[in-house]
Structure 1
Amino acid sequence: MNHYIYDGSFDGLLNAIYKAYYTPDKPDKILSYEKREDNFLVKEILIDTDAKKAKKVYEAIDKKISPAALRKIYYAYLSEIDGIEMDILNFVRLGFKIGTDIELNLANEAVFKIESIYNKVSHERHRMTGLIRFKELKNNILYAEISPDYNLVGIIAPHFIKRLSNENFIIHDKKRNISVFYNKKEWIVREIKGDLNIIFNEKEEDYQNLWKMYFKSISIKEKFNPKLQRSNMPKKYWKYLIEKGG
């Protein structure tokens, strides 16, 4: 059995796809370094991350299949689901054969899985844009904490850059220890090592109390529907919602 081992990045995955096309040693699995398996029956093939090769695969998917397919592949990668790399490879293989018609081929297992996962990641991305709550730090930076099911910080950042273009902000994914940093001009996603030095603005507690009071004041007791509320705002997200005590 051949296991491709890559660095966990999207460029690294594209290099694994490139390798699968230009070597006789086809992969049975594609795994990140973090998920590699100790098995003496397995031949590990380490994948170097080459930006030029990644670009070739990226552009080939975009032109030979479609921009929409490229987006779905990227969202599937962000899902971090075990085994998704081979599903992506199989999706790309089929896409290179039939082109844009791949969108119609939901009977294919890989196509159906990529489509299904893309919809789940898209749904959570949309939901998070409405659930993120910023707090003001002492240095006037806006700060928000999240712990989404999927690795979303890079795809929700553009939404908040448009809305908060004149603010400095941080969106911190505490589940993955990564953050988006935006400084009114550019943004970057970085790994967080250790704790961020978070000191809230002195007025932040007052703002939060006012928001909680407002949320309580607009609630209509007779129309309170916990089941509907949990459907629109799942309980797993309440931890970071100011109006729910976060």
Structure 2
Amino acid sequence: MKTVYVCSDTVTGIFSGIYDAWKTGRGEADCAIALRGMLEQQLFCDYVEVEETEHKAIAVENLIKKHLGRQAYWDIYHAVLAADKDKGDAILGTMLAARTLPDSTRIMEHLSHPKVEKVFELSRTVGGEAHALKGFLRFQELKNGVLYAQITPKSQVLTCLAPHFANRLPLENWMIHDKSHDMFVVHEAKKKWILIWDDMLDRKGSLEVSEKEARYSRLWKDFCKTIAIESRTNRRCQLQHLPLRFRPNMVEFTN
């Protein structure tokens, strides 16, 4: 009977599920990963709830880096962040396929394998969204002086964005709010960033922007309208360079 390991849609959850499946030594046809809340039950399967721990997640991370290589690890890690209910099973299948190769570090070259191909595509999708948000994300200064930005991504890309902005704004207090997944990345000046969930954040301060920020926002909107040439507007070209889904969180497109 096939065993399906049910876990949460987090890095710790999926890696813990892979840990339990890997430890059994069973093949791809005999085990699978399913995400809690996205489960489609099938006949003749044994469903097991995964005990999720940091120890298991770290063990799987080290296993991937040692036997599959760091590049494969980053492809797998990005795939974990994707918005796809079958990602856990694709990652497990990729790792089990790597176990059969003479050189497991070349697993991501085997795109003829459907699970490897899926991991590759998910990694590319997450990387593309994170890259786009590095340009489309907009910070606004709050009354308490903190720089605040909100995004509504499809994938859980906060851990991809945080190192980028921590490197560019090391002396600033800033936070990025992922409204799609109820998560925050918070950076205190001269310190390391941390990832927290919405229910863990103490929102004593208001999210109202400062007077200076409001003034500059108005100036920026007026500037964008002034330089626009109505007769040369190309909506199709605009959509190619700035998709509609990024616009609601950008100052230029807010009322």
How far did 1:105 drift? 1.1
Residue 34 of structure 1: aligned partner? 37
Q: Provide TM-score, normalisation by structure 2.
A: 0.87
Residue 78 to residue 68, structure 1, CA distance change in 2 (3 Å): same
Residue 62 of structure 1: aligned partner? 65
Q: Specify the SS of the correspondent of 2:51.
A: coil
How far did 1:36 drift? 4.3
Contact 1:181–1:188, Cα closer than 8 Å, also in 2: yes
Q: Does 1:2 align with 2:8?
A: no
Q: Name the % identity.
A: 29
Q: Which amino acid aligns with 1:190?
A: I
- RMSD (Å), alpha carbons: 2.3
Q: Specify the SS of the correspondent of 1:111.
A: helix
How far did 1:42 drift? 4.6
How far did 1:178 drift? 0.8
Name stretches of at least 5 consecutive residues in structure 2 with no aligned partner.
none
How far did 1:189 drift? 1.2
How far did 1:19 drift? 1.4
How far did 1:37 drift? 5.5
CA distance in 2, matches of 1:73, 1:172: 24
Contact 1:29–1:83, Cα closer than 8 Å, also in 2: no
Contact 1:61–1:96, Cα closer than 8 Å, also in 2: no
Residue 186 of structure 1: aligned partner? 192
Q: Specify the SS of the correspondent of 2:37.
A: helix
Pick aligned residue for 1:118 from 123, 135, 139 = 123
Q: Which amino acid aligns with 2:208?
A: I
Contact 2:34–2:89, Cα closer than 8 Å, also in 1: no
Q: Does 1:135 align with 2:140?
A: yes
CA distance in 2, matches of 1:164, 1:49: 34
Q: Provide TM-score, normalisation by structure 1.
A: 0.90
Deviates more, 1:229-238 or 1:10-19: 10-19
How far did 1:25 drift? 7.2
Residue 212 of structure 1: aligned partner? 221
Residue 96 to residue 40, structure 1, CA distance change in 2 (3 Å): closer
Residue 20 of structure 1: aligned partner? 21
CA distance in 2, matches of 1:88, 1:39: 20
How far did 1:148 drift? 0.8
Residue 223 to residue 163, structure 1, CA distance change in 2 (3 Å): farther
CA distance in 1, matches of 2:111, 2:198: 39
Q: Which amino acid aligns with 2:127?
A: S
Residue 163 of structure 1: aligned partner? 168
How far did 1:167 drift? 0.9
